[in-house]
Structure 1
């Protein structure tokens, strides 16, 4: 009887210790999923096997490379569900590789491995971006080829079902690159690189419908090529990263959902004359700083936001210590920025100065195969 009691007490104590240790580990670690290229597509020589994981030490910012958790072709963009239970991924395929591109849903397991739930056609080719609305019920996938954006419903078990097909004008020239939804969940903007337009839509999350706004679109400069978009914290301004002319367009967001152009500013260093294409854009989660990446100049541009009129002023450019920073992300606490250098197969780490917005290299460049998307999962 005494032996039984001793064993029982030991088991309970060990369980409490294990739970406490696990809890403490969770407090110092963040998890990231890395989307990648796995195939030689001409513009990129993919070396990865699919989606893999990273661990971030939130105290010192250091990264640890994890394992491949899903093997599939060209998961070039991944997005976690709002509740952190599921991970959505595109499979970026062209018309020579399959009948369409695909979107996949995965369950995120406790150990951060992934279990595939289902896979659906994107009814276009080269799907390159996923957006999830603020209710977490709907996902939008942009196809770079074909002029199609797909709306899917995310069921409670993570299963995806087709909801609506949005066909853009001039489909042969259209290159839908992203969908971005306002904080009030009422309006959405489709960045169409091929048509140099931001298509404006209304979202009714209760009915699950997507319809054109009274202002059907906003234009950027001819040949600018709008790619990705980020909103100011108060939702009054939208910042569009233009891929082809490496500029950022600032728009005022009207109550109706319409957009009014306020400013265009270069994302490049003064005097830079070599080839470049703009890529990612992110607002700092707590401060009035905006960051954008340049592929060619291979740097991150740092801007300060004037909170009164939304306009940007350049602070600095920081080398990403690698080639072709297609994507970057900022840690949830706002202390660190990580850049995915696609063509040098590396991820570089920076400490963010919260007073100035400046990026300070941690002196750590992690080898990682063809990384093109970094997604934190809390």
Structure 2
């Protein structure tokens, strides 16, 4: 198992005090463990912890620790420079669903996982960061808006972008275009909105276009292909998969011919693409499986197969080398690990216990 010089206590907090957006204080607990270079994290929303794993070269996971952090965790992002962990919290206090959430930025260093900046908002569900790491956008569901911030790459301090418009829709999911010029927002009411980013200050346009299925679909998770040409989402309330072409000038979406298509299983709450853009996977929350498709040159999906998961699969992520997939099973409090075969099919490696209610799983590299 490859290790770095950093202590895990140098990475993760055992306890965190409530802090403001600047001048934050924090507490750490010493540990003799060391943090992995290649990390898999789960956001365990029911107990407000991170489960931390070292990802081995063969895709197996070695449990490092369960660490208390944030409140009612809903999403995690490792900053592109690897110096910060960004945590979306959907509540303000342990055990409380009071819709007073926040986003917190934690520095990763020898002194611990230290909260350096925090901004309050209502129910922060999902975040997207520009490829250069300068700006982050948060789907802020119950306040019917997207919250936007600049983030200092050296200090991690957040600065709210007051020039960003408020859009009156239920923002549930958000994904960045690989160019960093657009982002897309999905709602549980059947809409997907496109926004242009102004790089000079990170502000963004009111929606340049919208797709509206008028409550007939719930877009809980969006995925954009690495080449930026296509966007896909499953219906969290059903079996339909939607595919769109992306206009590279203004980010407008157009439904692909033949879509939506029917997935074999129901409740498509999350999706993930391989880094090559060759394969895409959808988890079925209601039927406990994950279904894979190949993507042809025209954006059409071709079924590969379906593979069993644990109970209530809530999230999926793919390793940066495209060799492994990890699924957070909300109902079983564990993570399923799979190898991705050359034809896109999944082979189960093992399952690993995590904290209560894993809502998100991410993979990443921390130098």
- TM-score normalised to structure 1 length: 0.80
The partner residue of 1:359 within 324, 333, 346 is: 346
Tell me if structure 2 keeps the 8 A contact 1:73–1:91: yes
How many residue pairs get matched? Answer: 328
- For residue 52 of structure 1, report the CA deviation from its aligned partner: 3.0
**Residues 264, 94 of structure 1: alpha-carbon distance in 2 compared, 3 angstrom cutoff:** farther
**Residues 289, 217 of structure 1: alpha-carbon distance in 2 compared, 3 angstrom cutoff:** same
Q: Which residue of 2 aligns with 1:302?
A: 292
Matches within 5 A, 1:199-348: 199-213=193-207, 215-220=208-213, 222-255=215-248, 256-262=250-256, 263-269=259-265, 276-286=266-276, 288-307=278-297, 309-320=298-309, 322-348=310-336
Which blocks of at least 5 consecutive residues in structure 2 are unaligned?
A: 6-33
Q: Which residue of 2 aligns with 1:32?
A: 40
Tell me if structure 1 keeps the 8 A contact 2:239–2:268: yes
Matches within 5 A, 1:96-245: 97-98=97-98, 100-109=100-109, 113-122=112-121, 124=122, 126-155=123-152, 156-164=154-162, 166-169=165-168, 174-194=169-189, 196-213=190-207, 215-220=208-213, 222-245=215-238
- For residue 373 of structure 1, report the CA deviation from its aligned partner: 1.4
**Residues 248, 158 of structure 1: alpha-carbon distance in 2 compared, 3 angstrom cutoff:** same
Q: Which residue of 2 aligns with 1:91?
A: 89
Which blocks of at least 5 consecutive residues in structure 1 are unaligned?
A: 1-19, 38-45, 270-275
Q: Which residue of 2 aligns with 1:16?
A: none
Q: Which has the higher contact order (CA 8 A, sep 6+)?
A: 2
Tell me if structure 1 keeps the 8 A contact 2:236–2:267: yes
Tell me if structure 1 keeps the 8 A contact 2:233–2:243: yes
Q: Which residue of 2 aligns with 1:7?
A: none
- For residue 89 of structure 1, report the CA deviation from its aligned partner: 0.5
Q: Which residue of 1 aligns with 2:52?
A: 53
Measured in 2, the distance between the counterparts of 1:131 and 1:239 equals: 16
Report SS of the residue matched to 1:227.
coil
Measured in 1, the distance between the counterparts of 2:4 and 2:132 equals: 30
Tell me if structure 1 keeps the 8 A contact 2:320–2:364: no
Measured in 2, the distance between the counterparts of 1:247 and 1:257 equals: 23
Asked which structure has the greater CA Rg, the reply is 1
Report SS of the residue matched to 2:209.
strand
Q: Which deviations, in whole Å up to 9, do the C-alpha atoms of 1:63-87 show, x marking residues without a partner?
A: 1122234433211211111111101
Quick check: which one's helix share is greater?
Answer: 1
**Residues 166, 301 of structure 1: alpha-carbon distance in 2 compared, 3 angstrom cutoff:** farther
